[in-house]
Amino acid sequence: MNSIFKKGLLLIAVPLVFQGIFLAILLANERASVEAENWALHTQLVIGQAESALRHLVEESNRVRGLVITGNPVFAAKPADLPDPIAELHRLVRDNPIQLHRVEALGVNAAGLASWVAELERLVRAGRASEAGERIRSLQGERLLKDAQAKITAFLAEEQRLGRERLDLLARTRRQQRRLLFTAAAAAAVTAFGMAWLFSRGISSRLEVVTANARRLAENAPLAALLGGGDEIAELDATFHQTAFRLAEAAAAERLYQAEIERRAAELAHANEELRAKSQEIETFVYSVSHDLRSPLVNLQGFSRELERSCLDLRHALGQAELPAAVHPRLQAIDGDMQESLRFIQTAVSRASNIIDALLRLSRAGRVEYQWQRVDVDAVVRRVVDAMRGTIAQKGARVTVSELPPAWGDPTAVEQVFGNLLANAVNYLDPARPGEIEVGARPAASSVSSTYWVKDNGLGIPEPYLGKLFMAFQRLHGDVAPGEGIGLALVRRVVLRHSGEIWAESREGEGTTFFLTLPAGEAEKGIK
Partner 1 sequence: MNNDGVTIILAEDDDGHATLVERNLRRAGLDNGFVRVKDGQEALDYFLGPGQDEACDSCILLLDIKMPRVDGIEVLRRLKGDSRTATLPVVMLTTTDDPREIERCYQLGCNVYVTKPVEYEQFIEAVKRLGFFLQVVKVPPRVPAAS
- Closer by beta carbon to partner 1, 104 or else 292: 292
Considering only residues 134, 262, 306, 337, which one is a binding residue for partner 1 as defined by CB under 8 A? 306
In the complex, the smallest distance separating the C-beta of residue 259 from partner 1, rounded to whole angstroms, is 43
Tell me how far apart the alpha carbons of residues 211 and 366 are, in angstroms, rounded to a whole number.
64
57 to each of 49, 63, 109, 125, how far by Cα in Å?
12, 10, 10, 21
Site residues for partner 1, 268-297, by CB under 8 A, read 291-292, 294-297
- Closer by beta carbon to partner 1, 127 or else 296: 296
User: Does 345 sit near partner 1 (CB under 8 A)?
Assistant: no
Number of residues that bind partner 1 (CB under 8 A): 23
* φ and ψ at residue 453, rounded to 5 degrees: -140, 150
- Closer by beta carbon to partner 1, 247 or else 298: 298
- Closer by beta carbon to partner 1, 420 or else 517: 420
> Amino acid letter at 140?
Q
345 with 304: CB under 8 angstroms? yes
User: Does 347 sit near partner 1 (CB under 8 A)?
Assistant: no
User: Does 14 sit near partner 1 (CB under 8 A)?
Assistant: no
Question: Helices marked H in 126-231 — which ranges?
Answer: 129-137, 140-199, 205-219
Binding characters for partner 1, 460-489, by CB under 8 A (x = yes):
------------------------------
Considering only residues 301, 339, 373, 474, which one is a binding residue for partner 1 as defined by CB under 8 A? 301
393 with 429: CB under 8 angstroms? no
Secondary structure class of 443 (helix, strand, coil): coil
User: Does 304 sit near partner 1 (CB under 8 A)?
Assistant: yes
Tell me how far apart the alpha carbons of residues 294 and 288 are, in angstroms, rounded to a whole number.
10
Considering only residues 258, 299, 341, 394, which one is a binding residue for partner 1 as defined by CB under 8 A? 299
Question: Helices marked H in 428-520 — which ranges?
Answer: 463-466, 487-497
- Closer by beta carbon to partner 1, 172 or else 291: 291
- Taking alpha carbons only, the member of 98, 97, 100 closest to residue 89 is 100
Considering only residues 182, 303, 344, 473, which one is a binding residue for partner 1 as defined by CB under 8 A? 303
Tell me how far apart the alpha carbons of residues 323 and 73 are, in angstroms, rounded to a whole number.
229
In the complex, the smallest distance separating the C-beta of residue 528 from partner 1, rounded to whole angstroms, is 18
Considering only residues 305, 328, 343, 374, which one is a binding residue for partner 1 as defined by CB under 8 A? 305
- Closer by beta carbon to partner 1, 110 or else 413: 413
Rounded to 5°, angle at Cα 121 from 120 and 124: 85
3 with 231: CB under 8 angstroms? yes
- Closer by beta carbon to partner 1, 219 or else 369: 369
In the complex, the smallest distance separating the C-beta of residue 522 from partner 1, rounded to whole angstroms, is 23
User: Does 350 sit near partner 1 (CB under 8 A)?
Assistant: yes
Rounded to 5°, angle at Cα 21 from 15 and 25: 140
Pairing of strands 436-441, 449-456: antiparallel
- Closer by beta carbon to partner 1, 193 or else 303: 303
User: Does 316 sit near partner 1 (CB under 8 A)?
Assistant: no
**Where does this chain touch partner 1 (CB under 8 A) — which range of 127-135, 161-169, 187-195, 302-310?**
302-310
Q: Which residues contact 258 (CB under 8 A, 6 or more apart)?
A: none
- Closer by beta carbon to partner 1, 294 or else 315: 294
- Closer by beta carbon to partner 1, 164 or else 305: 305
Tell me how far apart the alpha carbons of residues 322 and 328 are, in angstroms, rounded to a whole number.
11
Distance of CA 467 to the CA centre of its chain: 55
> Amino acid letter at 34?
V
End-to-end CA, the chain: 74
In the complex, the smallest distance separating the C-beta of residue 306 from partner 1, rounded to whole angstroms, is 7
**Where does this chain touch partner 1 (CB under 8 A) — which range of 145-153, 177-185, 346-354, 501-509?**
346-354
> Amino acid letter at 117?
V
Considering only residues 11, 244, 368, 401, which one is a binding residue for partner 1 as defined by CB under 8 A? 368
Binding characters for partner 1, 383-402, by CB under 8 A (x = yes):
--------------------
User: Does 298 sit near partner 1 (CB under 8 A)?
Assistant: yes
395 with 457: CB under 8 angstroms? no
Tell me how far apart the alpha carbons of residues 519 and 74 are, in angstroms, rounded to a whole number.
152
- Closer by beta carbon to partner 1, 239 or else 288: 288
173 with 36: CB under 8 angstroms? yes
User: Does 364 sit near partner 1 (CB under 8 A)?
Assistant: yes
Contact set with partner 1 (CB under 8 A):
291-292, 294-299, 301-306, 346, 349-350, 353, 356, 360, 364, 368-369
